[in-house]
Amino acid sequence: MTVPPDDRTFRREMATAYRSGWHFIDLVTAIPHRGDSLMVTLFGEPILVAREEDEDVRAYRCLRKPRGAPQPVRCAVRYGMVFVNLDQRDHQLIEPETSTATPRSA
């Protein structure tokens, strides 16, 4: 795949990716078929990138604990390249704020 050097959209997306904590893993052609996977180490953390049965590419952080299940991480495919975002703030579950109201009796 070739991209012309003057492609503004490409340069803008690459700048956004590097600035926002997204990291390039490999070309999407490295995992061409369903069930294919790729294991990489990024900043000392093992990351599994896999092509799922529905043809989507997903990434998982592999825990070192004996029975730890892989944790999904944000993954994006742009211009035939796979990017992951390991920023913990992007992966924390945010519980909705619950407000309790005490009804007034008349």
Determine the pLDDT at residue 100. Answer: 57
Span of 9-18, 21-30, 51-60, 86-95 with lowest mean pLDDT: 86-95
- Average pLDDT value for residue range 14-36: 81
Task: Report yes or no: 21 and 85 within 8 Å, Cβ to Cβ.
Answer: yes
Q: Between residues 66 and 40, which one has the greater pLDDT?
A: 40
Task: Report yes or no: 23 and 5 within 8 Å, Cβ to Cβ.
Answer: no
| Of residues 59, 34, 26, the one with CA closest to residue 45 | 59
- Has this prediction a pTM greater than 0.95? no
